[in-house]
Structure 1
């Protein structure tokens, strides 16, 4: 009880309370300073993060625009590539067609060469046959003209029956009662080189048989001799 009555106790209590209050104020000040520093640090962090995000967004936008540009350029290049590939395909197809046409032309040329060779052989054969026939005609002319009064004429036929250049063999000395009476056989040479008997005057029924035999033997003198025999036989009937 004596301590409560101590007059210095109030001052001591007040001093202690002030000390405690000052400590707390100091602590609160330190907390406020720390909080302020944290706020400033947070503001700097937020600003830095915001700036970084803004820069990142701008970079991303530029990157997106670049990607879009590359994409459009790639699409254009793909379109050009497709067009070139189509043009190449058309050129390739045209080249293939020309190659096929070239092969056809080469085959046609080869066939024409073969046909030319065959025709040349045929023409050479016909020319040789015609030369042989001309020699036979020459021989027959000499024999019959000199010994039997045969006359050979060259005529140009304009009728349907006698068309083109033909030969007429005119026999005389056939009819004993009229030695000058003419007995005529008209003949020519076909395109293939064979003989063609056109007509006889007077007409002979056996003329087709004699013509067939002439085609087989190619012996013109014998044919003319048989014709003369048939004329003589007809004249004596």
Structure 2
């Protein structure tokens, strides 16, 4: 056993302690370097994570703003779409009403056309009847002149009571004291084909009754004969 008093033991002990101390210093340096390296790496990772987070936050904020803008745009488009739908509904209703009005107008036009055709036919028929009546009157002219001493003239009247072409039946040889004195019945034909007594000269009080009888019988010859009798009676008074 080596004696503690051996001078070499102290040197070796010192040498070994220095060696252990150096190893510890070296290990400590390595640990310190590793710690610094890891701190730097951690700092880099934290910085990278922070940058990524900040970028992510910025991207999210931009995305949120885009979503908000899109939402506002969608709401505006929905509002505009509702307004257009309302406008379309109103225009559609207006078109439907105009279609109904158009159908009504077309129907009324067709009815007016039918009425116009009927009116035209009626007028043509009445004109034909009136022409036939006037023709018959003209044909009867000589007969009346021969049997009743009657002259027939066509005259044109334009008064409130009578308007248009009329016929005057002029009786003579009524008054024995003045055989050439005229006694006149003025008459025409209405649109419905009936006779219209316009006036008598001199005035016959019974003329309305004679006219009424004429409308009932349609016998013009008898009417004129009765008028002549009334004129004769009037001339004798």
TM-score range, shorter-chain basis? 0.7 to 0.9
Residues 173-225 of structure 1: CA deviation (Å, up to 9, x unaligned): 43456544432211122344432212222322211011122223333222212
Q: Is the 8 A contact 1:168 1:187 kept in 2?
A: yes
Retained in 1: the 8 A contact 2:148–2:225? no
CA contact (8 A) 1:136 1:219 kept: no
Unaligned runs of 5+ in 1: none
Could you list the per-position Cα deviations for residues 131-151 of structure 1 after superposition, in whole angstroms to 9, with x for gaps in the alignment?
332244135323211222111
CA 1:43–1:163 in structure 2 vs 1: closer, same or farther (change >3 Å)? closer
How has the CA–CA distance of structure 1 residues 221 and 78 changed in structure 2, closer, same or farther, with 3 Å as cutoff?
Answer: same
How many residue pairs match? The answer is 236
**8 A Cα contact 1:140 1:220, kept in partner:** no
Structure 2 Cα separation of the partners of residues 159 and 123 of structure 1: 23
Inter-partner Cα distance in structure 2 for 1:75 and 1:118 = 63
Counterpart residue number, 2:113: 113
Q: CA deviation at 1:44?
A: 3.4
C-alpha distance in structure 1 between counterparts of 2:168 and 2:92, whole Å: 67
1-side partners of 2:26 and 2:235: how far apart? 177
Counterpart of 1:195 in structure 2 is 195
Q: Deviations over 1:141-166 (max 9, x none)?
A: 23211222111112234666665432
1:138 equivalent in structure 2 = 138
The 3 A distance-change label for structure 1 pair 158 and 59 is: closer
SS at match of 2:140: helix
- Which structure would you say has the larger RCO, counting Cα contacts within 8 Å and 6 or more residues apart? 1
Q: 1:22 offset after TM fit, Å?
A: 3.0
Aligned partners of 1:41 and 1:198: how far apart in 2? 133
Moved more, 58-67 or 144-153: 58-67
Q: TM-score, normalised by structure 1?
A: 0.72
Aligned-residue offset at 1:171: 1.6
Distance 1:90 1:164, change over 3 A: same
Contact persistence 1:172–1:183 (CA under 8 A): yes
Please give the residue correspondences for 1:1-237 in structure 2 after superposition, counting only pairs within 5 Å. Answer: 4-53=4-53, 56=56, 99=99, 102-103=102-103, 105-157=105-157, 164-175=164-175, 179-237=179-237
Change (3 A) 1:161 1:59: closer
Q: Output the aligned Cα RMSD.
A: 4.1
